[in-house]
Amino acid sequence: MTKVESKANKGADFAKEHALVMESSYATPSITIVRGKGCYLEDADGKRYLDFLSGIATNALGAAHPDLIDAVTTQMRKVSHLSNFYGNPESLKLARELQRMIGDDEARIFFSNSGAEANEAAIKISRLTGRTRLVATLGSFHGRTIGALSLTGQEKKQKPFRPLLKDVKFVPYGDLEAITRAITKRTAMVLVEPIQGENGVIVPPPGYLKGIEERCAETGTLFALDAIQTGIGRCGSWFGWEEKLAPDLVMVAKGIGGGLPLAATIIRGRSPHFAPGEHGSTFGGNPVAAAAANQVLKTIREKKLMERALMMGSLIKSSIGKIDGVVEVRGRGLLLGIVLERPIAKEVVADLSKLGVLANSTSEQVIRIAPPLILGKREVDSFTRAFSKSMNALRDSK
């Protein structure tokens, strides 16, 4: 067997195993990634891909960033896990960092491991207000645990798991009047994404988030922002909103760990917080994940990656926006939704993958891209060329 043949067999073998491991909860992947460097990934057969998805807005520094590897291995050599019986300097440093980012040195931080858990903590906190009613938006995505799913405004995802939490009112996203009406003095918490990510990168109209904040102040409701997909510099700011806001609860996950599982619920303002024993997580604030997060935040600051996200985002908007068959490129920074004229998003994504570019479709007409924040002009040019080629190839389909 030649070297090439043995490599090709590797990919096929993995593909068989995916069916065993993942089939019941995920679509079976056709690609198995074995390594990566920066904005590029390599599959089991040695094929290279330009990564315009970064683990769905997660690998902020791309793959195998040397400083991240150093931070993680240095911490591993010291101690890899404790428990919440003991403090560790990395998670304390990270908590201070998050306070600085939100601009409130009184903010409390609850660490967990995933976006759903960060939202779950917020839902439990909302119960400490003595109220139980919640408001969320249609089309939202907040996670798959029962609490987070109860606030996820998607019928298809909720239906098989009912009954979910009662007392959740859903309103159309971006409609300030509707959400204002829904929030009353009996509402415990309203949970909103600064930009709806899973729903195809929907940016709300200016003044929407501020308007919700004002209504929450009038009614004594907790204003909670799910910055899990928009946060950690992806949209050109720490959390993904542009205006000056003072939310009571902010959730981050995905990008913060640079690929390691870490999430945080930032608790401030009017929000009550947990008393000892009311909530917890074995791995939350794990020193290795916290060391990774501290490095991610340091690199974003030092390398000015938020500015880069905005710059590269506008470059993509203008280059992709000119391609025939593209109606609009929406979003901010490096969280973008490419809206197509025709329902060929899945075909375009499949064709891009053949051309060695990874992206994903959130619906028949929208392709979502969320590349690493270290993206350069060279990668934007390669993406534009591949995208244009796919659109041309698929011009006459459907």
Ligand X SMILES: Cc1ncc(COP(=O)(O)O)c(C=O)c1O
What is the binding site for ligand X (CB under 6 A)?
56, 114-116, 119, 141-143, 193, 197-198, 226, 228-229, 253
**Nearest to ligand X of 193, 379 (CB atom):** 193
β-pairing, 168-171 vs 133-137, is: parallel
**Nearest to ligand X of 197, 269 (CB atom):** 197
Beta bridge partners of 265: 110, 251
Shortest Cβ 60–ligand X spacing (Å): 14
Say what angle helices 287-302 and 66-78 make with each other, to 10 degrees. Answer: 150
CB-nearest residue to ligand X: 115
State how far Cα 257 lies from the chain centre.
11
**Nearest to ligand X of 198, 351 (CB atom):** 198
CB atoms inside a 10 Å sphere around CB 111: 25
Distance between CA atoms of residues 40 and 313, nearest Å: 18
Shortest Cβ 188–ligand X spacing (Å): 19
**Nearest to ligand X of 59, 114 (CB atom):** 114
- Kindly list the distances between the CA atom of residue 335 and the CA atoms of 8, 79, 80, 207, 300, in Å, as whole numbers in the listed order: 34, 35, 32, 20, 16
Shortest Cβ 1–ligand X spacing (Å): 40
- Kindly list the distances between the CA atom of residue 226 and the CA atoms of 152, 251, 254, in Å, as whole numbers in the listed order: 11, 5, 11
Shortest Cβ 388–ligand X spacing (Å): 28
Q: What angle do CA 206, 209, 211 make, to 5 degrees?
A: 90
**Nearest to ligand X of 212, 391 (CB atom):** 212
3-class secondary structure, 394: coil
**Nearest to ligand X of 90, 193 (CB atom):** 193
Shortest Cβ 261–ligand X spacing (Å): 8
- In a 13 Å sphere around the CA of 384, the CA atoms on its Cβ side amount to 19
Shortest Cβ 382–ligand X spacing (Å): 26
Shortest Cβ 289–ligand X spacing (Å): 13
Distance between CA atoms of residues 303 and 323, nearest Å: 31
- Using CA atoms of 154, 155, 160, 165 in order, give the dihedral in degrees to the nearest 10: 70
Shortest Cβ 190–ligand X spacing (Å): 15
**Nearest to ligand X of 334, 386 (CB atom):** 334
**Nearest to ligand X of 2, 25 (CB atom):** 25
